[in-house]
Amino acid sequence: MSKFFQGYQINKTETGQSCELKQLSTDDLMAGDVTIKVEYSTLNYKDGLALTGKSPVVRKFPLTPGIDFAGTVVSSEHAEFESGDTVVLNGFGVGEVHSGGYAQMARVNGDWLVKLPSEIDTRQAMAIGTAGYTAMLCVMALEQHNIKPDAGNILVTGASGGVGSVAVAILNKLGYSVVATTGRMAEKDYLLSLGASDVIERSEFSAKARPLYKELWAGAIDVAGGNTLANVLSQMKYGSAVSACGLAESMDLPASVAPFILRGITLYGIDSVMVSIEKRQQAWSRLAQDLDRDLLERLSFDLNFNDLPQAASDILDGKIRGRAIVKIPA
């Protein structure tokens, strides 16, 4: 293994932060008991915030960003892993306080890693990424609430993004009727091809929410927060549930308690960063089983490693559709 490798590094500056692609060495790797040759990463909304510095996502400097990666173990002092294992990492502060996936090498705590199911290779793992893994956690929460496919329509907000795209595909394969929202109606055919039965303009959820509205949805997956989530809550059927996993619109929730008290609905908060390794393993096992590979390829695209800084701005501006697969140079 060469001592030197390529990677992005974020440093703190007097005016904020800088990010550049540079030659790093094994001396730059952080503490950990498993060293991985990174083969693929991806681009999430949080990565966009980290790379651009538009939100204080990165809290330790210098640091290699990238909250996701998949690759092959080079060396391990961890009992669960050995050289040659293919692994995936999502969360645990990687890309925020511990160097992450935008480099050819990574060293992490083995307790953060999941061995990939044999049905999923490292490229497919990053087509899924944190976004797809979060989507699976959202679906599992609705299943936990005993929402069956015959209960009615499931709403997915922000459906042309990473979480939404995978959620639509999974729900469709499981037999649910899915209604998608998007701010880009030019993506309607794309969402229908993933399995949505209908597509609604995002603006229909942007006005101030009423305490209660007509009962429309048997379940929902929301990536937006803000007025969108408040409107979704007001439209839920009696006894239904919402999986909330994002804040693309706002961290605020200008809603009423009426849907919770008068309709008995449940709001599940979905955390993908610190969730237990057992639940992670369950989610990845379910992804191997319940995500159509052809659809996964259709909702993914290849992003050049050198184009990450521009793509980071694009994802914040809502210009990225589906899942970006970043091949790390060999």
CB 231 within 8 A of CB 250: no
> For 70, what's the count of Cα atoms within 13 Å in the CB-facing half-sphere?
25
Q: What CA–CA distance (Å, rounded) separates 42 from 303?
A: 8
Containing structural domain, residue 166: 129-269
Same domain, 173 and 261: yes
238 — alpha (psi -120 to 50), left (phi > 0) or beta? beta
Q: What is the CATH number of the domain that holds 199?
A: 3.40.50.720
- Chain segment 251-287, per-residue pLDDT in tens: 999 999 999 999 999 999 999 999 999 999 999 999 9
C-alpha to C-alpha distances, 118 to 133, 137, 248, 299, 323, nearest whole angstrom: 16, 20, 33, 21, 21
Query: Would you say residue 71 lies in a domain?
Result: yes
Q: What percent of the chain clears pLDDT 70, i.e. is strictly above it? A: 100
In this structure, are 136 and 250 located in the same domain? yes
Q: Is residue 282 part of a domain?
A: no
Answer yes or no: is 285 within a domain.
no
pLDDT at residue 230 above 90? yes
Q: Are residues 208 and 322 in the same domain?
A: no
- The model's pLDDT over 102-144, given as tens digits with 9 standing for 90+, comes to 999 999 999 999 999 999 999 999 999 999 999 999 999 999 9
Quick one: 133 and 258 in the same domain?
yes
Shared domain for 239 and 321, answered yes or no, is no
pLDDT higher than threshold 90 for residue 298: no
Q: Are 196 and 178 in contact (CB under 8 A)?
A: yes
> Is residue 288, in this structure, part of any structural domain at all?
no
Q: Tell me whether the omega of the peptide bond preceding residue 259 falls within 30 degrees of 0, making it cis.
A: no
- Domain count for the chain: 2
Cα–chain center distance at 87 = 17
**Cβ atoms of 201 and 224 closer than 8 Å:** no
Structure tokens at 51: 């790379």
Structure tokens at 111: 């307790």
pLDDT digits (tens, 9 = 90+) for 174-187: 999 999 999 999 99
The answer to whether position 199 is within a domain reads: yes
Distance CA 132, CA 165 (A): 8
Position 212 in a domain: yes
Query: 């049905």: which residue's tokens?
Result: 119
258 and 148 inside one domain: yes
CA 296 to chain centre: 14
User: Which among 213, 296, 194, 307 has a CA at the least distance from the CA of 255?
Assistant: 213
Q: Residue 181: what are its φ and ψ, rounded to 5°?
A: -115, 150
Q: Is the peptide bond before 309 cis (omega within 30 degrees of 0)?
A: no
Shared domain check, 226 and 153: yes
pLDDT of amino acid 15:
87
Q: Are residues 110 and 170 in the same domain?
A: no
Which residues have CB under 8 Å from 319's CB, separation 6+? none
Nearest partner of 135 among 318, 319, 322, judged by Cα: 322
d(CA 10, CA 18): 6
Strand partners, 323: 300
pLDDT digits (tens, 9 = 90+) for 243-254: 999 998 999 999
Quote the CA–CA distance of 16 and 168 in Å, as a whole number: 37
Q: Is residue 52 part of a domain?
A: yes
pTM for the full predicted model: 0.92
Q: What is the CATH number of the domain that holds 34?
A: 3.90.180.10
